[in-house]
Structure 1
Amino acid sequence: MTTSSILRKTILLFSITVICLQLSAQDFSLPKQYNGRRHRGFFLSMALGVNSTKMESDAKYYGLSTYKGIGGAFDLKIGGTLTENLILHATILSHGVTGPKVSSDEFNINDVKTDNDISLSEGMIGAGLTYYTGSNIFFSSSLGMGNFILENDKEDISISTDWGFSMQLKAGKEWWVGKKWGIGVAAYYHHTNGINQEGNIAEEKLSSHNFGIMFNATLNGRK
């Protein structure tokens, strides 16, 4: 081995040693390669499922009426993370019942199923927070404004109520199916209340209690 070869190897070894000492002194660690499966950055959650509805209407003129039924539900959340696993998002929720069962004190009827031309739907627009645990269990709450729409296709009638306070509580579990996509199941409770046509002879106090089960699909971006 020549002197120049030995010198080159000595200089290389010395340089590597110095670099290692500097990294150690700075408590330096190389960044881990991003492999997805984290709740960071952009957030989009879409869900479809079934909903059990109970809506009460306490009207000055018609007394107490109750609408019940089971129908489809849709849930959309879009936003971004405040910190990893904690997400701030807008919430849009909608569900409806075709041919709901109606009870009325005024008309002395109890759980009478209406024609399928009659439908009752409820919606909410608001904002909320969703938190994921390390095992991908999530808890979500949203507050906003909600209203009801009663339609009679046979008579071509559509009645939309005033907007009132609305809220949703939701919890579930997801499993990763890709670097950014997760799918899972969730249960939720949705409540809306308010006063429609306040001060009018037809004024009614509205209140709903909804329970639903949904299949979730979530896209998780990255900062």
Structure 2
Amino acid sequence: MISKVAAAVLLLAIASEAKPCFGRCGGRPPPPCGLPPFLEELPSDAQAKINEIWKDYKEGDKCYEEQGLTREIIDALPKDVRKSIHKRPPLPFLRGLPKDVLAKFDAIFKDKSIPFSQKPEKIDALAEQLLTGDNLKKFQEFKEKKEKEDKEYKEKEAKLSPAAKEAHEKLDALSKQKFAILEELDEDVKDELFDLWKSRPHGPPRHH
């Protein structure tokens, strides 16, 4: 079974990739650099624009500008299109699965009676139980990748100076508080807030 720390990173990654919030969901990490995994779900004109944004990107480079421009394309889509994207899990190991299987994963994400700390292990157990073949292979690859990233993150975190560590802990606490507030809001209220944030001169606030 996956370690608790790595599992938490896994769940956060799943949550962040399942909804293309691009760093504005209060506590969720920004998405990885590169074309969004839900690209094929978008209208053809939006796909073309996003492909153009990322055509010169090289792996390993910073991608703040590309992410910001991609976010603007997504924000400009009609609300019904954005909501349909949000409902479709884009992760590779969930693609092609029957609706009843996807519903079981979705139920864990949405079940507020399950403590957040317990969800990673439940997701891991469900994946090991239900996934087979290529889906199981992709899940294991995804899990290993997140475990590696978590290890690298912890190593960098351990090397922070005292001042940087104190600031990091304060900012992390604020991000968790914002995440908790947003999670309790209705979707219509979230839409109102996101519409307000994206009208700011420098776009919606980002959380790293």
Larger radius of gyration: 1
Task: Tell me the TM-score normalized by structure 2.
Answer: 0.19
- Higher helix proportion, which one? 2
- Higher strand proportion, which one? 1
Q: RCO greater where, 1 or 2, for CA within 8 Å and sep 6 or more?
A: 2
Task: Tell me the TM-score normalized by structure 1.
Answer: 0.18
